[in-house]
Structure 1
């Protein structure tokens, strides 16, 4: 009898413990769902409250990110690091003024409205209607129907950045920002062409690529996996081209690859937890082997503004980043953005054939400088004295 009573008490105790465990886990599950799931009628406003829709883990957030005085971007960013680095934005060429609103309407569309203007941007673009939205822990923001099928996703329309689990299909392009502080579309593009070749161009000079994978007929998808490898896959899943060979786990490190405003595609990692951050440099760490390794020498087309804009030249700094310079007699068009080219500081010479203006010209030495493919007149087997005459 005592044994049966003891057994019954143990069973009751186990049931009580299970009940307590369920009571603890249920709010956590509800919170995770609430943080990732966005229902119809939900909205956010661009203001000082900095409200956002977070992924279940809180790693990523979707909302209005302030980028200047009274200026915002509807964006997705890394939410748990001080830098709040942006990985995607909507309507990037026209920043959102304070008071702008994004709403998942009752009709199932994600709509961005600017005050005094109205609707600026909306998804899905078709007549299909979403039943809900979800901010995923991968950094992907999706609109889904009642069956759970994605109608639209931010991963399908990248800006200048890709992150692990993201895939680029044929025709998908990544466009750099304009400058370090300007998120508008810039001068450089990474495109997986319909022929399977992955190419990097200067916009809008698309006939010439300053880097390409040489995978015509084989390239099918660009894949960024969770071990930080970025590669071009063939249609059968095999490796067509190894873009960046990573060895980092996304469990320990945040990762991103970005086509930066200088035209170079770079990969970065950032420790997820505080203990790892003690072993790593502060902020984002550059992974070796950016593409291209030296954009100053890669950019040798005969048309277009090159890396640094018109009337300029490029040198690679000790940090392996391009430095834009103006030749003597020229100055920066925009000193705050030295990649925007240079302007002449002298009056243009006359085109009158009867006027001799040789006294207006000087020949100045610039060792190791070369304006490749830009010669408009060529003399062979001549010395320096001939050029100075």
Structure 2
């Protein structure tokens, strides 16, 4: 009996698909040649390493969203459980149809979207035949004969494979979540001091958290300011870094496949692929931060991180607070009810809890009531850490302006949170009780309730105690008086008053030697010259020397020394010391190798991505000055010349010679004896003798941003004439006119009209429109209308669709 035709045809189809399967998996593609492409629509368009351990191809990261990636072939068979080790376009996925990875005949490897727009490329050129190969170690390499044109090992994402180098030019950046592969908030990189660090760059704050920032580098076996910056994990499980960090994985030796990865929770771990009953599983063999709650930013602001062996790590909003974003803990929590009146507030105690950093004051030998009183009468105080120092036998408290990085461990001190009284009365301490993780417990001093009957009272003893207290009080008064008198005698007339600050006082001959007799000039201002120098510890420094010191100049120098002693932020220039000898006044800063923003704008070295990041970083630095210092600092001279750029073009606000320390109570009523700043960047308040507030810096910042976008100075490109005898308008009026023209006519784009056409690179139109909108709000003549710098930061980091710009 013969088979039906349709059954016979069905068998042919089965054989056909089996042949395809055998072709791709028994004879996989090992090389991509010029003119060839891999299509997103074909699941079998992949490249495999000769040992079949690694696979490169399109990986689905969302609904109709794909990234070109490299993954382990043998750890998980399904797409959802792949272990990705590298991605080309993690922050810009391509369409699920018509997208391709192509090796062009000119040697450029490009990833194109459905509309043929180039999303990513290696930007390489080849003079002869080249090909793309995936090596056995997971390195995707573009070869030209024996030369490497490009390799994925030079551009890691969140994973470091064995023998892959991490250098000063590379970094690991975590994914946003388990299902979102875009760049997250955590990164591993070599800092400017050559230390390998874990870094958190969140929605609100930026901080390094590993190695432990409370310890000096040499206390954790690290070495600073080395010429070499490189690290790698070898195939045996040994990790070595140039800064002295070295360790062995728990399963050190020849055997399993390994990788080092910065996970979504910010921790750095080494994994090994272990076989379990014919299945593979990744096991942790080492991790950087032993207690996961000590990773900064893991729960956001105003929250508490707790850990237990049964439940793992969990985040909880503090009592009286609620989540900002119910789907993302990184945004933290916000208060349910806000009040600043001391009579309406009280404290709750969180035992064995610590909140790292953001201390605005430190008090030693303070009582609990004294700490509460200090915090209650300071609106910026959110709470304080209270504890006991065994080495000196005194109590202490840290007054905190923000509540970040809170976690519960085996501490023997408490955190007191300031709340409206309505929430204090409803607080239940047992909610926060957790299993304490610690070693042998220290003895706990329990207060005893005593009651004495008056008939047993010893009157003579009472008189002796009173007399002793009076004598002790008088001794303290006399000691303080003589200390004050002697300290004033130590100040010579030509030195003036200089506060004690947490950096070094240099000798003049040291700085003269460091700068080679002030030979290498790198900057000049109206009252100072800046020289490049090498300090005795081989740090490269910028040495600012004041010239022709007048009484006003002496005041500015003292202001700058006083100001910078209180500052600590990654977007503010770091000061290493100062010199006061006779008539010499010098300040020693960190050297910023890419110079000032003004120099880079003239040279045209900044693309759009760098300019936008500079705008964000400068805003963060100014927001810190205005709102996070012990006393608010008004810079008063924000301009491109005072924004310096580091190795990675990280902006740092510098030159606080014209700055003003303002008490919080008088920030809206401050008066200046003289006008401060630079023409073109100065707010109208200076001209009309209005109260000077932090809004003058906001105005200057807006002018700087418009200058970066348009390429025009504050007075326009041509400050004399446009050729017709007319004075060309300043950048503010010019941009406003262009925006108004767009509002009147829908043809054309005002963005194209105002952006500097000479700037290299593409830009996101939405981001650019948002940046212009923010800058124009900053330069409003009415200071009440301008946003604060913290609001500017929030608008930059969380842009919203806003059409109000076109009605201006």
Residue 340 of structure 1 deviates from its aligned partner by 3.5
Report what 2:261 is aligned to: 258
Correspondence for 1:12: none
Output one character per residue of 1:309-347: Cα deviation in whole Å (capped at 9) or x when no partner: 22223234438965332111223333333334223333x
Q: Are 1:203 and 2:206 counterparts?
A: no
Does 2:47 match 1:57?
no
* Match of residue 90, structure 1, among 88, 107, 110: 88
Aligned length: 333
Residue 381 and residue 194 in structure 1: after superposition, are their counterparts in 2 closer, same or farther (change >3 A)? closer
Distance, in Å, in 2 between the alignment partners of 1:105 and 1:48 is 19
How do 1:259-338 residues align onto structure 2 when only pairs under 5 Å count? 259-271=262-274, 276-278=275-277, 283-287=281-285, 289-297=286-294, 299=296, 306-318=297-309, 322-338=313-329
The within-5 A match list for 1:129-148 is 131-146=130-145, 148=146
Shift of 1:279: 8.8
Distance in 2 of aligned mates of 1:315 and 1:244: 29
Contact 1:39 1:132 in 2 (8 A): yes
Does the aligned pair in 2 maintain the 1:67–1:73 contact within 8 Å?
Answer: yes
Whole-Å separation in 1 of the counterparts to 2:261 and 2:191: 18
Q: Deviations over 1:259-316 (max 9, x none)?
A: 1121110111113xxxx42298x621111x41022353464xxxxxx33222223234
Cα deviation for residue 44 of structure 1 reads 1.5
Paired residue for 2:449? none
Mapped to 2, the partners of 1:206 and 1:227 lie a distance apart of 35
3-state DSSP class of the match of 1:339?
helix
> What SS does the aligned partner of 2:330 have?
helix
C-alpha distance after superposition, 1:108-166 (max 9, x if no partner): 1110111126001100x2445671110111111011112x2111111111001111121
2:174 is matched with 176
Separation of aligned partners in 2, 1:366 and 1:320? 20
Matching residue of 1:342 = 333
Contact 2:49/2:55, CA 8 A, preserved across alignment: yes
Q: For residues 207 and 354 of structure 2, what CA distance do their matches in structure 1 show?
A: 23
Taking the aligned partners of 2:112 and 2:50, their CA distance within structure 1 comes to: 26
Distance in 1 separating the partners of 2:349 and 2:242: 48
Contact 2:101 2:110 in 1 (8 A): yes
Aligned-partner Cα distance in 2 for 1:291–1:117:
43
The CA distance in 2 between the partners of 1:309 and 1:247, in whole Å, is 34
Q: Matches of residues 116-265 of structure 1 in structure 2 within 5 Å?
A: 116=115, 118-123=117-122, 125-128=123-126, 131-146=130-145, 148-193=146-191, 195-203=193-201, 208-211=208-211, 214-216=222-224, 217=226, 220-233=229-242, 240-249=244-253, 252-265=255-268
SS of aligned partner of 2:368: coil
Give the aligned partner of residue 13 of structure 1.
Answer: none
More strand by share: 1
SS of match in other structure, 2:355: coil
Tell me how far apart the structure 1 counterparts of residues 57 and 85 of structure 2 sit (CA, whole Å). Answer: 12
- SS of the counterpart of 2:257? strand
Question: CA–CA distance in 1 between the matches of 2:32 and 2:58?
Answer: 16
CA–CA distance in structure 1, aligned partners of residues 114 and 234 of structure 2: 40
Moved more, 71-80 or 92-101: 92-101
Paired position in structure 1 for 2:786: none
Kindly tell me: are residues 118 and 344 of structure 1, through their superposed partners in 2, closer, same or farther at Cα, counting changes over 3 Å? same
How does the TM-score come out when normalised to structure 1? 0.75
Question: Partners of 1:227 and 1:127 in 2: how far apart?
Answer: 36
Q: Which structure: greater helix fraction?
A: 2
2:70, 2:267 → 1: CA distance? Answer: 22
In structure 2, the residue corresponding to 1:296 is in which secondary structure? helix
Moved more, 45-54 or 83-92: 45-54
CA distance in 2, matches of 1:154, 1:369: 43
Structure 2 partner of 1:373:
357
Where does the alignment leave 5 or more consecutive residues of structure 2 unmatched? Answer: 1-24, 212-216, 377-417, 422-808
Q: What residue number does 2:347 align with?
A: 363
Partner residue, 1:26: none
3-state SS of paired residue (1:283): strand
Report the Cα distance in structure 1 between the residues aligned to 2:304 and 2:228, rounded to whole angstroms: 34
Shift of residue 228, structure 1, vs aligned partner: 1.6
Is the CA contact 1:171–1:193 (under 8 Å) kept in the aligned structure 2? no
CA contact (8 A) 1:231 1:244 kept: no
**SS of equivalent to 1:366:** strand
Shift of 1:47: 2.8
1:193-230: per-residue Cα shift (whole Å, max 9, x none)?
46532112112777745326622227542121111222
Contact 2:200 2:207 in 1 (8 A): no
Q: Give the 3 Å change call, closer, same or farther, for CA 340–319 of structure 1 in structure 2.
A: farther
Which structure 1 segments of 5+ residues have no match?
Answer: 1-30, 235-239, 300-305, 351-355
Contact (CA 8 Å) 1:140, 1:154: kept in 2 or not?
A: yes
Normalising by structure 2, report the TM-score: 0.38
**What is the CA–CA distance in structure 1 between the aligned matches of 2:294 and 2:158, rounded to whole Å?**
23
CA distance in 2, matches of 1:44, 1:166: 26
In structure 2, the CA distance between the partners of 1:339 and 1:385, relative to structure 1 (3 Å rule), is closer
**Residue aligned with 2:287, SS:** coil
Out of 220-229 and 194-203, give the one that drifted further.
194-203
Show the counterpart of 1:382.
Answer: 368
Q: For 1:338 and 1:330, locate their aligned partners in 2 and report how far apart those are by CA, in whole Å.
A: 13
1:114 counterpart residue number: 113
2:303, 2:332 within 8 Å by CA — same for their partners in 1? yes
